[in-house]
Structure 1
Amino acid sequence: MRSTIAGTTLPVLRVMLDDGERLIAETGELSWKTPNVDLATTTSGAGNAGFFGAMRRSLAGGGLFMTEFTARGGPGLVAFAAKIPGAIVEHAVGGGRSMLVHRHGFLCATPGVTLDLAFQRSLGAGIFGGDGFRLQKVSGQGMFWSMLGGEVIPHDLAPGEAVDVHPGLVGMFEDTVSFDITMLPGIRNKLFGGDGFFLARLTGPGRVWLQTLTAPGLAHALAPYLGMEGVTATAEGSLLGAAVSGLIRHVRK
């Protein structure tokens, strides 16, 4: 198995499978493939079997189903393209080491990798962490690829060292890193600072991968422009429709 990541703003992961090799991915992620790569939709992918295993994976942000790709009769290519501006990052897991990924960050993996639900150990993180409460736990043995938004900033934390981050910008972190929620100090900061009430506190040791863009953040940034265009288009359409109707009535008279 050989992989390459091409592109910059909207990257593409291309995986070349040898004959008989398999790859497991979230449903709906395929961009293109060679004809000799077979697809099989299953509930038992990524280490989860049966209905309850699929439900746990679904609660973590994945789907009830996974897609398994298998090369038949020779090498085959599978490609996955990013859906928002960002970066695709390759990771290895094994030896009891696991990663916690934001709920839509898992892209695909080799068959030995397990995708499961990880609840936060802290009650505060669970109540106020938003999407940070439900994380995808990636463990097992093999390679997996994550899709993070915007620029990806790796940050290594020494034992006891902490960093406070907007909860949505926590892309992924090693399981040795603890995740908690801290409240912004000061009433003025909370009400008028524009940064919300809470920040995620990540405490080492371990590595964290911070992302600079989320899909909701991108949608929020574009919403004023999309709304204005929609209002303008509606108004123009209404005026044009009224003018045409008036002209038709005038001609009929």
Structure 2
Amino acid sequence: MKGNITTENTTEGGLKKGLGRMLSGENLFMSRYTANGACEIAFASSFPGTIVATELAKGETLICQKKAFMASTQEVELSMHFQKKLGKGLFGGEGFVMQKVTGPGMVFLEFDGHCVEYDLAPGERLVCDTGVVAAMEETCGFDIQSIKGLKNMMFGGEGLFETVVSGPGKVWLQSMTIEQLASLIVPYVPSK
């Protein structure tokens, strides 16, 4: 931080909203930074990855993976989003509870690894591994489908299911999840 900045920890919206944030992977309390004049503040990602800054219009909503929210302007609302279908929650890679950020305002999101943004046309479909969908606009459809072919399921290394995101709307994919990185590192960790 540089300049005259005051910091306040708050439940931001009350205890009920704070508990909702906890279920979606955030803390009960949020830090509010207020600039008193010309100031600078910087935030660092909690994992090697990409920070995405996006301006949300009033009522515009993004659905994000748990722990994606990093920071925002005060007007942005952070809440929970529930996957309503059993299959999506169990096999979609993100679980039943995700984060929901609603504008107006600027939001900063952190994604694992490299991030690629796609702008899908109405009806356009994007098929990808489960777990790589980091965020999407609320206008996007989200579903899972089983991988075709027994050989593909058994030897493809992708699991039994894949995610299908359909337009219209933007979707952000991440190149690697923290779980994938951990599984790649484990063989190199010495055991006593």
TM norm structure 2: 0.92
Among candidates 49, 52, 55, match of residue 19 of structure 2:
55
1:36 equivalent to 2:4? Answer: yes
State whether structure 2 residue 36 is matched by structure 1 residue 68: no
Measure the CA separation in 1 of the matches of 2:103 and 2:83: 20
**Comparing both structures, which one devotes a greater share of its residues to helix?**
1
Q: How big is the shift at 1:35?
A: 6.0
Change (3 A) 1:205 1:132: farther
Is 1:203 matched up with 2:166?
yes
Cα distance, 1:121 vs. partner?
A: 4.1
Query: Superposition RMSD on alpha carbons, in Å?
Result: 1.6
Length, aligned pairs only: 192
Partner-residue secondary structure (3-state), 1:217: helix
Q: Quick one: distance in 2 between partners of 1:87 and 1:121?
A: 29
**Structure 1 gap segments, 5+ residues each:** 1-32, 235-253
Residue ranges of structure 2 left out of the alignment (5+ in a row)? none
Aligned mate of 2:41, from 69, 73, 78: 78
Q: Compare CA radii of gyration and give the structure with the larger one.
A: 1
**Structure 1 segment 153-164 matched on structure 2, within 5 A:** 153-164=116-127
Q: Which whole-Å CA distance do the structure 2 matches of 1:76 and 1:203 have between them?
A: 41
Task: Provide runs of 4+ in structure 1 moved above 6 Å.
Answer: none
Where does residue 223 of structure 1 map in the other structure?
Answer: 186
Cα distance in 2 for residues equivalent to 1:220 and 1:127: 20
The answer to whether the Cα contact below 8 Å between 1:129 and 1:200 also exists between their aligned partners in 2 is: yes
Could you give the per-residue CA deviations for residues 85-132 of structure 1, whole angstroms, max 9, x where no partner exists? 221111111232111111111110000000010112433212322325
Counterparts of 2:155 and 2:81, CA distance in 1: 33
RCO higher in structure (CA 8 A, sep ≥6): 2
What is the percentage of aligned positions where both structures have the same residue? 39
Letter in 2 for 1:61: G
CA contact (8 A) 1:119 1:134 kept: yes
Do the aligned partners of 1:122 and 1:179 also contact (CA within 8 Å) in 2? no
Distance 1:41 1:143, change over 3 A: same
Tell me the SS of whatever aligns to 1:131: coil
Question: Quick check: 1:186 aligned with 2:149?
Answer: yes
Cα distance in 2 between the residues matched to 1:132 and 1:76: 39
CA contact (8 A) 1:120 1:179 kept: no
After TM superposition, the structure 1 = structure 2 runs for residues 89-108 of structure 1, keeping only pairs within 5 Å, are 89-108=52-71
Contact 1:109–1:142 (8 Å) recurs in 2: yes
Query: Could you tell me which residue of structure 1 aligns to residue 109 of structure 2?
Result: 146
